[in-house]
Structure 1
């Protein structure tokens, strides 16, 4: 599939310029059709039924889960279905056998979902070391390495910043963790939709991502584990091999992490979304977004009264660009963009309030985020509209 041809699968793009994909991506028609087919043709629960619909649903669900695991290069590990990245990270935070005196290392670049669960562990006597980036949001690997001690149990980092779009060198971080005997969790919420991901090549222990950011339905996500070594968040139907009045035996592999009825249609839709992205090619997706991000940064940085947050466009990045307009609150700028040109962006702290405070932006930023259905012409329309807004504000 050529990336230029995909827009017909996204009806919303006919009337609006959608630049909020870092929050929630649009969903193409083939994904919706895959979910509708489940509901209309073979809707049944999975894992236990013997009738024909249950057999078909079970096979389709398991094939879909395998496809999602393969999409991130995780065939050698286990993949458990979750509702989103937040739940996947929470499953790791709750599932490890923490001891008082253990340490976690994370960074100030993190989304709240990859910061707050670790801060919460302080209540159990776990120390949390937070590595701070520089004023532009760039992280020094030497600082991260220095923070990892002999008693560091886990390092938790984002793969790509949802505010600045910068990509962290997670392979190098994984190597440091291996040398120090620490496990590595990678928040892949922003990388899985936009970059070629191979968790085996990265060398992480846990990789977490969401379906709703990669063309899939809301309420779907995944936790990939190198080994299924966590205690499950929940136990119950489907997660056990056997049960008696005295106790139970957990099911093997990822099944032990999926108590109750999973989002069957959602996982089938997520697998179709992964297939859709594969048809385009993740390298194509990456290059497309890098070009758009560079165009956005260069265009916005040239405007009087507009300041682009973070580093320039020279480094590896996804299609996420944050900026401020002098004299305007980010929420006001976002509202004007919508009303004046049907340009839809995100504004505020982006669930990264500590980072916003650290880089001197207490009100947050306006964030434009691109995806496969974004065109250069749409980027130019946004830049022209921001120019007009900035003139009025100053």
Structure 2
């Protein structure tokens, strides 16, 4: 992988921040955008801005072709069987909430179980809390191992014949844990449950094959994989989506509207009420083209090497705590002794290094780790070992600064 050539495709990286060359280590929050994506969105607005599906004029036809072409790119990217299974949404949060409202509330009842894990992002906790309250179902948690991984034996002990839905992240946005989705899906299906996968940190970094994983729903966001903000995907098995009612009603998603009743379009459009996120979908299609040109296997290998290098170099720092398993995705979450993570992030920012600090929308996991907050450095295809060296130098300066202060 020619990382130098890849970096040249990301204009935002070619700048100084606070008088230092910019190092961006917050891709788990949102990734930077390559020129091809920026140009794809720009070309849409400059050249064929129009609504989709509704007009027969030239610009409308071109916009519809680009929008639906992006849907097929997503289908192939995650190896779904049909474009009918690809719903465009605002992002992972909207996708999971769609399942929680349209599937869970219609199919769960008192005595049923929803099974999740303590490592979930709030977007994969709160919808299930609300679904449990609305239906009388019970929310259960698979316990974590000491290193922040899941034991399949614990999965088997937690999932029962009363379990109707299992919701789990593909990759933890805090620990970097990569969960064995295919095995968990097998266990869920043995008990007649469906599995919902939060793929926000999975799809950008790992080759996803939803057919092989046999997940029932898979949700992810475009902005974490080089696409614009405000566009995401809900994959669902066709037989399940066909049974589900829309959650938004209005234009675009209807078939016939009468005075007292209406019918819906077929999949996937019955879930895409109103004017869809056209530019975002086109940008997502361009981002997928960009990732495919490099190759997801190459991206994964590069990121794994960065994660190993980061762990090795960061462990040379006295008084650092690193959270999560040894084998992990491309992020390292950590704290420096006696330094609040917000202070760590502030000093690093002064050095031109962007990292994340806070609870990372994972407060239950923070309590499990027995911390109030952490700092997180997350990597993507455009990062280098030199970026990590800058991070380590910045952390040493942080320790020296606060050591002198106190």
Q: What is the TM-score with the length of structure 2 in the denominator? A: 0.93
In the alignment, structure 1 residue 183 sits paired with structure 2 residue 194:
yes
Q: Secondary structure at the match of 1:128?
A: strand
1:4 CA drift (Å): 3.4
What do residues 232-290 of structure 1 show as CA deviations (whole Å, max 9, x unaligned)? Answer: 11122111121211311111111100000001011000010011000000001101100
- Do the aligned partners of 1:109 and 1:132 also contact (CA within 8 Å) in 2? no
d(CA) in 2 for partners of 1:255, 1:101: 33
In the alignment, structure 1 residue 271 sits paired with structure 2 residue 285:
yes
d(CA) in 1 for partners of 2:3, 2:266: 40
In the alignment, structure 1 residue 242 sits paired with structure 2 residue 256:
yes
Q: How do 1:124-273 and structure 2 match up within 5 A? A: 124=134, 125-227=136-238, 228=241, 229-273=243-287
RMSD across aligned positions (CA): 1.2
d(CA) in 1 for partners of 2:61, 2:176: 43
Structure 2's unaligned 5+ residue stretches are 16-21
In the alignment, structure 1 residue 378 sits paired with structure 2 residue 384:
no
1:147 CA drift (Å): 1.1
Q: How do 1:106-121 and structure 2 match up within 5 A? A: 106-121=116-131
What do residues 306-338 of structure 1 show as CA deviations (whole Å, max 9, x unaligned)? Answer: 1111122xx2x2211000001110000000001
Q: Secondary structure at the match of 1:253?
A: coil
Q: Secondary structure at the match of 1:9?
A: coil
1:51 CA drift (Å): 1.1
Q: Secondary structure at the match of 2:249?
A: coil
> Which of structure 1's runs of 4+ aligned residues deviate more than 3 A?
1-4, 391-394
In the alignment, structure 1 residue 333 sits paired with structure 2 residue 369:
no
d(CA) in 1 for partners of 2:303, 2:222: 19
Q: Secondary structure at the match of 2:8?
A: helix
d(CA) in 2 for partners of 1:311, 1:66: 36
In the alignment, structure 1 residue 89 sits paired with structure 2 residue 96:
yes
d(CA) in 1 for partners of 2:58, 2:401: 65
Q: Which moved more, 1:37-46 or 1:96-105?
A: 96-105
Q: How do 1:40-59 and structure 2 match up within 5 A? A: 40-59=46-65
Q: Secondary structure at the match of 2:168?
A: strand
- Do the aligned partners of 1:300 and 1:307 also contact (CA within 8 Å) in 2? no
d(CA) in 2 for partners of 1:266, 1:243: 29
- Equivalenced residues, count: 389
Q: Which residue of 1 aligns with 2:115?
A: 105
- Do the aligned partners of 2:149 and 2:179 also contact (CA within 8 Å) in 1? no
Q: Which residue of 2 aligns with 1:353?
A: 363
Q: Which residue of 1 aligns with 2:402?
A: 393
- Do the aligned partners of 1:326 and 1:393 also contact (CA within 8 Å) in 2? no
Q: Secondary structure at the match of 2:268?
A: helix
Q: Secondary structure at the match of 1:252?
A: coil
d(CA) in 2 for partners of 1:73, 1:393: 50
What do residues 180-217 of structure 1 show as CA deviations (whole Å, max 9, x unaligned)? Answer: 11100010000100011111110000000001100000
Q: Secondary structure at the match of 2:333?
A: strand
- Do the aligned partners of 2:3 and 2:383 also contact (CA within 8 Å) in 1? no
d(CA) in 2 for partners of 1:211, 1:74: 17
In the alignment, structure 1 residue 4 sits paired with structure 2 residue 4:
yes
1:352 CA drift (Å): 0.5
Q: 2:28 aligns with which of 22, 27, 49?
A: 22
1:392 CA drift (Å): 3.6
1:142 CA drift (Å): 1.2
d(CA) in 1 for partners of 2:79, 2:2: 23
Q: Which moved more, 1:133-142 or 1:51-60?
A: 133-142
Q: What is the TM-score with the length of structure 1 in the denominator? A: 0.96
Q: 1:294 aligns with which of 308, 315, 333?
A: 308
Q: Secondary structure at the match of 1:101?
A: coil
- Do the aligned partners of 1:104 and 1:129 also contact (CA within 8 Å) in 2? yes
